[in-house]
Amino acid sequence: MRHPILSVLLCLSVGVFAGCQGGGSMTSQGVESGVWGDLDGDRVQRFTLRNGRGMEVDLCDYGAMVTGVRVPDRDGRSVDVVLGFDSIEEYPEKSQYFGCTVGRVGNRIGGGSFELDGETYQLAANNGPNHLHGGDRGFDKHIWNATEILTSRGPGVRFTRTSPAGEEGYPGTLEAEATYVLTENDELVIEMSAVTDAATPCNIVHHTYWNLGGHGSGTILDETLFIDADRYTPVDATLIPTGEIAPVDATALDFRNGKSIGADFEAFPPNGDDPGGFDHNLCLNGEVGTLREVARLTDPTTGIVMTISTDQPGIQFYTGNFLNGMIGKAGAAYEKNGGLCLETQAFPDSIHHQGEPGWSDVVLNPGNRYEHVMVHRFSTD
Ligand code: GLA
């Protein structure tokens, strides 16, 4: 690591923990922060959240991102289950949205344009003919403002940024927020929100690549996944939804009984530029706007289990199909399928399906607040 964290230990004392002991031991609950490096002359900060149970989360203000999550495995050994890089300078070069907060609209917008209130908005077509993850310089490629916080649930960091009107072609000035809190129940809570001064589509998405066997432990194909979804959104060859909302019955996308990710993997073989594998939006069961448990991932070797709860309508299940062997933390090579993303979200390309049955409203208007909650809870089997 070229830029070790400066030990600026803040140790926010709450409940079970009564202050800084011995300069911040593994069991001290709090936030540690320091300068990580710089990008184009701008200082980048890193933060480490700790709970009193041996769980740690590394965050960074560039991209409001997660760069590490260390959790005890079934034998009590600490395992880093998040793909990332040792230095901040590697992120702009090598990262495929690793750990970041994606916006203003995560996932794809077909044809890279949309109409709103009679106006046509042209966005960057940065993914074939389509717009992906907010454009050429989305929320993931900016340094956010950061504030360390202490909540009743545990320590955290609140990241904020103003996305000016016209940024990446979107209308309205958007004030965005992404807050991370680590609880004593081994939960990483992510709350994303935004307000605007003019109507705009908004779909802020969290993009961590998980490997519960450890970030350098090979593929995720032997992990077991449950997703509470009866339906999914079929896509065309460029990954834009056709508009249909189809049952998962008798498809490889039926994760309702839990199954190994590799079990039906050959249902999506490589084809030309398409590397194959899962890269699909599933339509989550339950009421949109209500926090409910929607996914459960288990690694057979470490026994680490992660459940995800959200208030969102959909989840993009992506098996790291574009990972290309780039060298990550501690020299680990991240080969194809070396990590997976479970990105809760509004359905991709929703802006072209406003008002259609099953599709949610992704237009944020002045006076309203966009809200998105994700809770990642860790345990062992
Ligand atoms: C998302 C998309 C994928 C891919 C990754 C980033 O999950 O659905 O197709 O673009 O982001 O590489």
Average pLDDT over residues 334-341: 98
Residue 372 lies in a domain: yes
Mean pLDDT along residues 77-85: 98
Distance 10 CA to ligand 1 centre (A): 36
Phi-psi domain of 29 (left: phi exceeds 0; alpha: psi -120 through 50; beta: other)? beta
Pocket test for ligand 1, best of 341, 342, 347, 349 (most atoms within 8 A of CB): 341
Q: Which amino acid is at 150?
A: L
Phi then psi for 152, rounded to 5 degrees? -65, -20
Amino acid at 178: A
Give 341 Cα–ligand 1 centroid separation in angstroms: 9
1 domain residue, yes or no: no
**Going by CA atoms, what residue is nearest to atom 9 of ligand 1?**
279
Q: What's the 103 CA to ligand 1 centre distance in angstroms? A: 13
* Residue 230 located in a structural domain: yes
Return the ligand 1 atom nearest residue 279 CA. Answer: 8
Spatial contact of 34 and 8, defined as CB atoms under 8 Å apart? yes
Q: What is the mean pLDDT of the chain?
A: 93
2 pLDDT exceeds 60? Answer: no
| Residue 108: band (very low, low, confident or very high) from pLDDT cuts 50, 70, 90 | very high
- Identify which of 322, 337, 349 to mutate to test ligand 1's pocket (most ligand atoms within 8 A of the CB): 322
- How many angstroms is it from 318 CA to the middle of ligand 1? 7
* Å from CA of 351 to ligand 1 middle: 18
Q: Evaluate whether residue 21 is within a structural domain.
A: no
For residue 341, the ligand 1 atom closest to its alpha carbon is: 7
CATH number of the domain encompassing residue 204: 2.70.98.10
Which of 130, 279, 280, 319 to mutate for ligand 1's pocket (most ligand atoms within 8 Å of CB)?
279
Contact 98/108 with Cβ under 8 angstroms?
no
pLDDT recorded at residue 273: 83
Residue minimizing CA distance to atom 6 of ligand 1? 96
Nearest CA to ligand 1 atom 12: 96
- Residues contacting ligand 1 via CB (< 6 Å): 96-97, 107, 132, 239, 279, 316, 318, 322, 341, 343
pLDDT band per the 50, 70, 90 thresholds, residue 272: confident
Q: Which atom of ligand 1 is nearest to the CA of 318?
A: 7
pLDDT of residue 27: 47
pLDDT of residue 28: 75
Residue type, 120: T
- Residues 131-148 pLDDT 10s: 999 999 999 999 999 999
Q: Which atom of ligand 1 is nearest to the CA of 239?
A: 9
Q: Across-strand partners of 282? A: 232, 315
Q: What share of the chain has pLDDT > 90, as a percent?
A: 91
Q: Which residues are catalytic?
A: 207, 343
Residues 6 or more apart whose Cβ sits within 8 Å of residue 359: 347, 350, 353
Residue 96 CA: which ligand 1 atom is closest? 12
Q: Is residue 20 part of a domain?
A: no
Contacts of 99 (CB under 8 A, 6+ apart): 60, 63, 65, 66, 67, 82, 83, 84, 207, 208, 209
pLDDT at residue 181 tops 60? yes
**226 pLDDT exceeds 70?**
yes
- pLDDT per residue over 234-269, tens digit each? 999 899 999 999 999 999 999 999 999 999 999 999
Give the total number of structural domains in the chain: 1
pTM tops 0.85, yes or no: yes
Residue 52 lies in a domain: yes
> 374: CA distance to ligand 1 center in Å?
19
Does the residue 203 lie in any domain?
yes
What domain range is 317 assigned to?
A: 29-380
Residue 68 falls inside a structural domain:
yes
Distance CA 154, CA 146 (A): 17
